[in-house]
Every structure is written in structure tokens, then in C-alpha cells.
Amino acid sequence: MNKEKVLSAITWCGLGSLLFFIYAAAVLKLIDVPIDYHTHLSLAQGITWEALRHPLDFLKTNCYPVWHVLTWLVMNVLGCKGRSAVALVTSGCLVGTWACAAWFFSRKYREAGMDMVRVACTCLVLVMPIWLPFFNPNIVLGQGAPNLLHSPTNVMVKFLAFPCFMWYAAIMDGIGKNSAMRMGVFKLVALSLLVFFATLSKPSFLQMFLPAMVLLSLIKLVQFRVAAIKPIAVVAASFVPVGLLIVWQTWLALYSPGSGGTGIGIAFLKVWSTGTPNVFVSMLLGTLFPLTVLLWSLTARKATTADALAWIMYVVAVSQAAFLVETGWRVWHANFFWAHNLALFFIWFTAMDRFIYLAGESVKDNVGSRQKWWLLVSSVVLSLHLVSGFCYLWRVLVHGMWR
């Protein structure tokens, strides 16, 4: 191994370690705030070996147990206290998401240079909606955020869903091409298991991913007809187990005798509007960079299948957050908003992917001034999002403010 590779590996490890300690400090700060961590830690501490010996009975009372079981294992196998276990598991998932982005970008953009890749994937996991305190004193509440920290189950599902998104986008992108991605049994089983455990962590990913899959599959069928049938049918078959799982989870959570009389209702912006003076302005503040890069990609004719998948997921998630609410005592829990937060992360991921590519193209000598203007505008907007991300981290680390 040469000196350059060693230095690169040390840099990656150092950056990952720094992010881990920052995230761990933030999580430990948020544990003391009476929000999600308080509740989920209590659930993890209530797990017993006896309960795990009867998995079906356990799942009836714990519909989304992946984070809780993992945290409980860290407490019991490694002997960590509750707070330390929460910080280890949650920070590990956050750094794992960053590592997935680093792996993807470093493989795809070797020629762009590792410094560019490190900056891009680190920005991806730090950015937040543009914060205008005079408009909304909250950075997260009512705005939505790609990198919020106050929900451990959301952190877990994002970590598991990220490779699912990349893998499925690659499969769809390969339809109709000579370089189509080969779908072996191992790959399909791995994809199915990842989606299964992501759904077992929290249903928010699948509730937007399945409709997006259907819509993207229809688009591919119109484009490629017979060539698209086999890959779409095979992938669809691998999703049957997770489809059955989410139906069962939904019944347990909302309609079973122990659900507390809750259900699903329709109320346009009833919950969303309580967190922001203007929902549509908040949407723009959260998506200004992805929208800018999307317009740049479309004008340059460089949009990808991953872009289409991410934006379809975003439209589905926004529609669910705007129209659907839980009825009964959970109406203000805003649980249909979690998919919106995840969708924001995926449109940010595809935007960062396109930004790296288009930025590299725009600095070439034979490119016109229009591309350079797009690069300037996109960079300024990205900087605004990044400043908001640092403000969010500061509020969490110093003041314990999750919003």
C-alpha cells in the first residue's frame, strides 16, 4: 500500500471518528430532553430474554423494535449503561449513513479527487433547511430536515434505507442498457432483508418507497416495454414479505384492540401548519439546494433515474404529510411527517451526486459561462444550508434544543 492510500485511509478514519464523537455528544445532550430518546430508552430497557424467545408475541407489543433490540444488546452484551448504549447505537447509525455516502461517492468520482468527495459526503450529513429565525424560530419543527437527530428510530431507518435506495435505483437505471445490473439471488435477498429490517425499524421509508416503486416501474414499462417486465417482476416478488409485514404493523399500531382507538384520517395541513407560519415557504427553505441542482441537471440534460426515484418519493411523502393524520390521542405526534424527513435526505443525496458531477464539468475550459453561473448559485445556496446545519448542531450541543 502506497503512502497516498495510507494518508487517505487515515483521513477518512479521522473524519469518521470526529463525526462519531460529535454525534455522541449531541445524542447524550438530547437524552436529557423529554422527547423521543426518553421513551425509546425506556422501551429498550424493558426488553427481556424471555420476551425475545417468543418473537411473534414480542412484535405484537413492539411493532418497530430494531433500534430497541440493538440498544438492549449493547447494554447486556457489552455491559454499557443505558445512556452510553443509546449514544453508541445512534451515533454508529449516523456515521454508517455517512460511510455509505463516502463509499458511493469515492467509487463514482475517483477522478474528482478525494478532498471533493470528503467535503460532499460530510456536507450531505450536516445540512439542514435554511434557517430564518424571523420567519420560524424552529429549524426542524414545521420545516422538515434531512439530518435531524432527536429520533433514534428515524436515524436507524435512514441508515438501513440508504443502501436500499442506491441498490434499487441502480437496478432501475440498468433496465434497457447493455450494462444492466445482474440480479442474482444473493442481491435480491440482501435487498429484501434490508427493506424488511428498515420497515421493522419504522414504516416511514416503505410508506413512500412502495408508491414510488410502482410509479417508477410504470415509467420504465412505458419506456422499455418487454425489456422492463422481468427485472420489475423479480424485484416486486422480493418485496412480498415486507408488504405483508407493513400491513400487519399498520393493523397492530392503528386498528388492533391495544391501539388506543387510533386510526388514519384526512385533514389537509392540520398538523403540518402548527409548526410553521407558511408550509410552502418552509418546503422551499428545506429544498432550495436540491431544487437548484435539479433545474441545473434538467437544463444540462444530466438527470438520472436516482433523481426521478428520489423526487417521486418526495412528492409521495409530502402528500402523505399534508393530507394524512392519525386520529385519536396520537393526532399531534405527526407520525406521517417522518417519511417527509427521509425523503428530504434522499433528494439531498441525489442533488449532491449531481452537484459533484456538474461541478466537475463546469470547470472545464470548453464549458460556457451559463454552467459556471449554475455552479456559483448552487454553491451559495449549499453554503446557506450548511450554515443552518452548524446552527442546528450548536443549538443541540450547547442548549439541548431539538427543534
Three-state SS sequence of 121-172: HHHHCCCCCCCCCCCCCCCCCCCCCCCCCCCHHHHHHHHHHHHHHHHHHHHH
Amino acid at 348: W
**Cβ distance 207 to 307 under 8 Å?**
no
Dist CA 94 CA 148 (whole Å):
10
E strand or H helix at 264: strand 263-266
**Cβ distance 185 to 234 under 8 Å?**
no
Give the per-residue pLDDT at 239: 87
Give the per-residue pLDDT at 256: 65
Give the per-residue pLDDT at 367: 67
Nearest to 30 by CA among 72, 99, 91: 91
Q: What is the pTM of this model?
A: 0.94
182's torsion region: left (phi>0), alpha (psi -120 to 50) or beta?
beta
Burial category of 276 from C-beta neighbours within 10 Å (exposed 0-12, middle 13-18, buried 19 and up):
buried
The x, y and z cell numbers of residue 75, run together, are 447494554
Report, in this order, helix, strand and coil percent for the chain, each rounded to 5.
Answer: 75, 0, 20
Dist CA 286 CA 344 (whole Å):
8
Question: Beta-carbon neighbour count of residue 61 at 10 Å?
Answer: 12
Fill in the DSSP letter of residue 176: T
Give the per-residue pLDDT at 70: 96
Give the per-residue pLDDT at 180: 46
Give the per-residue pLDDT at 385: 97
Give phi and psi for 137, each to the nearest 5: -65, -15
Collapsing DSSP states into helix, strand and coil, what is residue 265? Answer: strand
Fill in the DSSP letter of residue 32: T
Q: How would you write the pLDDT of the chain (403 residues) with one tens digit per residue?
A: 578 888 888 999 999 999 999 999 999 999 988 778 988 999 999 999 998 888 888 887 888 899 999 999 999 999 999 999 999 999 999 999 999 999 999 988 877 677 888 899 999 999 999 999 999 998 998 888 999 999 999 999 999 999 999 989 988 888 877 544 556 677 788 888 999 999 999 889 999 999 999 999 999 999 988 888 888 888 888 888 888 888 888 777 766 666 555 678 888 898 898 889 999 999 999 999 999 999 999 998 899 999 999 999 999 999 999 998 887 777 777 788 999 999 999 999 999 999 999 988 887 766 677 888 999 999 999 999 999 999 999 999 998 888 8
Dist CA 96 CA 162 (whole Å):
10
Collapsing DSSP states into helix, strand and coil, what is residue 365? Answer: coil
**Cβ distance 176 to 228 under 8 Å?**
yes
Give the per-residue pLDDT at 179: 46
**Cβ distance 98 to 121 under 8 Å?**
yes
Alpha carbon dihedral 98, 101, 106, 111, in 10-degree steps, equals -120
- Cα 270 to Cα 192, 266, 276, 295, 305, distances in angstroms: 35, 9, 11, 31, 33
Contacts of 162 (CB under 8 A, 6+ apart): 97, 100, 101, 345, 349
Give the per-residue pLDDT at 67: 96
Dist CA 111 CA 157 (whole Å):
32
b vs e for 156-186, b when ≥16 Cβ sit within 10 Å of the residue's Cβ?
A: bbbbbbbbbbbbbbebbbbbeeeeeeebeee
Question: Beta-carbon neighbour count of residue 75 at 10 Å?
Answer: 21
**Chain mean position to CA 133:** 25
Collapsing DSSP states into helix, strand and coil, what is residue 266? Answer: strand
